[in-house]
Amino acid sequence: MSGLRSGRWLDGDSLRAFGHRSRLRQLGYSPPDYKGKPVIAIISTRSDINPCHMHFAERVEDVKRGVWQAGGFPLEMPAMSLAEAFQRPTSMLYRNLLSMEVEELLRSYPVDGAVLMGGCDKTTPGLVMGATSAGLPSVFLPAGPMLRGNACGKVLASGTSVWKMWADRRAGLVDDGEMEAVEHGVARSAGQCMTMGTASTMTAAVEALGLALPGSSSVPAVDSRHAQMAAEAGRRAVGAVREGLVPGMILTEAAFDNAVRVVAALGGSTNSVVHLVAMARRAGVGLDLARFDRLCRDVPALADVAPSGEFLMEDFFYAGGLRALMARISGLLDTSAITITGRTLGEEIEGAQVYDERVIRPLGDPLWPGGSLAVLHGTLAPDGAVVKQTAASPELLVHRGPAVVFSDYKDMERRIDDESLEVTPGSVLVLQQAGPVGGPGMPEWGQLPLPKKLLRAGVRDMVRISDARMSGTSFGTCVLHVAPESAVGGPLALVQEGDTVSLDVPARRLDLDVAPEELSRRRRAWAPAPPYFARGWGKLYATTVRQANEGCDLDFLEYGPGTPEPAVH
Ligand code: FES
């Protein structure tokens, strides 16, 4: 017997082992290809509808090359693609389903380790959550950002430029010709969104956790160094199997603290809060919102990358990439944390240099002094809410105003541009029924569009509050992830037109200024909406999903011992 997990399928004189070996021969492999070698599953989230991963067909071959070189046996195993740009109501509804697929792929097949290929938003947490639960040595291979967008002589940023342009178009300032030029030029190559949106935030977070090769998350998808890095990921997966380097040895409390601090230094996406909490729980680490806020407070935001800053991921890579940024904040990190290379984080970032201080700012001249992501609590959000200060208007971070309430997304679409809507720039736009259960899936509706009449008057930001998420490429004073959500009877469900809402980000407060007796009266009159799903995955999801402050995982997938290896019959 080889001593490898895969050997329990492939070795020995049994009918089952004979069957497995004969079917490998059917695939064209003979014992010299696999006998005694670590079997590496290459879990690729490529599909014909995912433009962010369209280079994965080539990269799988690069990974295989690395696995062969290191003496392993590579097998590609596709998993659901989760193409952010196409899935409705939101790819977030399927993050946990991907994680379950990954866990079961790794558990049920003769596999010793894995290379996890993802990058487009929810693929990264989904892959990592599944591999963490499976407990096999795994290397995460980031898709890498696409090239900068370009049209009409302008650099374009994924999402960010489009949100700005769309607001201008609604104000009557952008014609059809410009719209079409941007449609042609905003996404020019394979790779994930090239802003510091959810995709690039999460791939960086996984590198900071130690589960991706040092420097790998910053390499543009179409750079030749990406193919080289893919081969290295294959080699390392074989090494990690030989060393027994399972995710549980890497995904420690210190590693998650490092990831949170790196996200703060990047001015990263609010979505990272939900994903990191869920990933931590899979690893048995109790990361909660209070800890998240505490860890962020003294970390300066140094990455001058859109939507918080000016530059894009390609510039970030040329400026030195994530290793350089981590080296710059190394005093705030636990550099003794072990990474997938078997070396410490400190060893991996030593000597990394910043080549452009406009993109990766000096500690003494940050984009934001500390707490780029802030967690709020109060009578409107007893279990928490999240705001991204670097993407907000500073003058709105302390604000009191009357609520304009939309009971769901359809209600908002119907009324937001109604000229008779009673709304002023000082109003607070409130969206209900947009959380994990209500959305369903907690869609990225949190950056509510501004009323056309205010856009025409030149208004470009207002306080917006919801239990939804917001695209990582978005900006604005948007208070998100309000928990408990309105669909399960959180205070957000009780807000009525004209109620005064108080936001005080420096004090980390979000309050509804309504008397408790009145709120009790409203609560007695409140009833939940009927379930959205009658069957299938959606029904399982809606009946078991956790709230945003708990990471939105399914309750039976969180903490707990791994599922045993399948028995041989
Ligand atoms: Fe795939 Fe943005 S749409 S990363």
Cβ atoms of 76 and 84 within 8 Å: the answer is no
Q: What is the DSSP string of 161-222?
A: HHHHHHHHHHTT---HHHHHHHHHHS--SSSB-SSSSHHHHHHHHHHHHTSB-TTGGGS-TT
Domains of the chain: 150-185 (no CATH), 373-529 (3.50.30.80)
How remote is the CA of residue 468 from the centroid of ligand 1, in Å? 18
**Coil, strand or helix: which one is 429?**
strand
Ligand 1 atom at minimal distance to the Cα of residue 159: 2
Residue with CA closest to ligand 1 atom 2: 193
What pLDDT, in 10s, does the model give residues 16-38?
999 999 999 999 999 999 999 99
How remote is the CA of residue 193 from the centroid of ligand 1, in Å? 5
The token pair that represents 318 in the structure block: 């040329």
Q: Which residue of 46, 47, 49, 52 sits with most ligand 1 atoms within 8 Å of its CB, as the best mutation to test the pocket?
A: 52
Pocket of ligand 1 (CB under 6 A): 52, 84-85, 120-121, 158, 192-193, 199
Closest to 379 (Cα-Cα) out of 520, 524, 553, 550:
520
Q: Which residue of 53, 55, 81, 121 sits with most ligand 1 atoms within 8 Å of its CB, as the best mutation to test the pocket?
A: 121
What pLDDT, in 10s, does the model give residues 178-204?
999 999 999 999 999 999 999 999 999
How remote is the CA of residue 155 from the centroid of ligand 1, in Å? 18
Residues of the chain with pLDDT below 50 are: none
The token pair that represents 325 in the structure block: 């940024």
Between CA 15 and CA 458 the distance in angstroms is 75
Ligand 1 atom at minimal distance to the Cα of residue 158: 2
Q: Where are the beta strands (DSSP E) in 286-346?
A: none
Residue 500 φ/ψ region, left for φ over 0, alpha for ψ in the -120 to 50 degree band, beta for the rest: beta
What is the predicted pLDDT for the residue at 35? Answer: 97
Between CA 523 and CA 485 the distance in angstroms is 14
How remote is the CA of residue 198 from the centroid of ligand 1, in Å? 8
What pLDDT, in 10s, does the model give residues 240-271?
999 999 999 999 999 999 999 999 999 999 99
The token pair that represents 272 in the structure block: 């990272």
Ligand 1 atom at minimal distance to the Cα of residue 121: 4
How remote is the CA of residue 199 from the centroid of ligand 1, in Å? 6
* CA 216, chain centre distance (Å): 17
